[in-house]
């Protein structure tokens, strides 16, 4: 995939099951702690949660910037996620549900999305946050502010809105 010609807004995303998923940008880190699934909820897999972490990043950017960027670059350490976002299709319905939500957000916001791979050891900020290692995070990155967030569950198909 060709690199964008204008400077993209660069974010990093990560998931650590069963703990949390996180994304980082400049001097901010965002964390969502995963809740235990109950017997009454639809089960989701790790890949669903990795895609949800990326959807959450895109939704945050589209919803919290007065003028969303024209280019958004998200780094993830999951090659399957990169492949799904290059093709905009997945083999399982639950994964395609997240992809449909992503397309809804990028179509409404006009964001040109790129998802690229980064080695896990280079994704250190998002990795520390997704492991809920806040003390270690603040030791390595003291100026970065950490915020809690809720994923955009209302964008998902109803059966998965309470699954995490």
Domains, the chain, with CATH or none: 9-160 (3.30.420.10)
Q: Indicate the pTM of the whole model.
A: 0.88
What is the pLDDT of the chain when averaged over all its residues? 88
> What is the percent of the chain where pLDDT is above 70?
93
Mean pLDDT over residues 131-136, rounded? 95
Query: Is it the case that residue 38 has pLDDT exceeding 90?
Result: no
Query: Which ranges constitute the DSSP H helices of the chain?
Result: 46-64, 79-87, 93-109, 124-130, 134-140
d(CA 127, CA 32): 13
């Amino acid at each position: 995939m060709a690199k964008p010609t204008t400077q993209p807004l660069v974010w990093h995303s990560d998931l650590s099951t069963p703990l949390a998923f996180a994304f980082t940008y400049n001097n901010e880190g965002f964390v969502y702690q995963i809740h235990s699934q109950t017997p009454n909820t639809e089960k989701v897999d790790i890949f669903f949660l990795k895609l949800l972490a990326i959807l959450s990043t895109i939704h945050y950017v589209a919803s919290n910037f007065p003028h969303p960027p024209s280019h958004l670059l998200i780094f993830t350490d999951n090659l399957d996620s990169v492949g799904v976002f290059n093709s905009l299709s997945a083999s399982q319905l639950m994964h395609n549900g997240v992809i449909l939500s992503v397309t809804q957000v990028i179509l409404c916001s006009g964001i040109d999305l790129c998802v690229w791979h980064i080695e896990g050891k280079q994704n250190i900020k998002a990795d520390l946050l997704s492991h809920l290692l806040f003390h270690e995070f603040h030791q390595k990155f003291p100026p970065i502010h950490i915020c809690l967030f809720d994923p955009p569950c209302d964008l998902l198909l109803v059966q998965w809105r309470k699954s995490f």
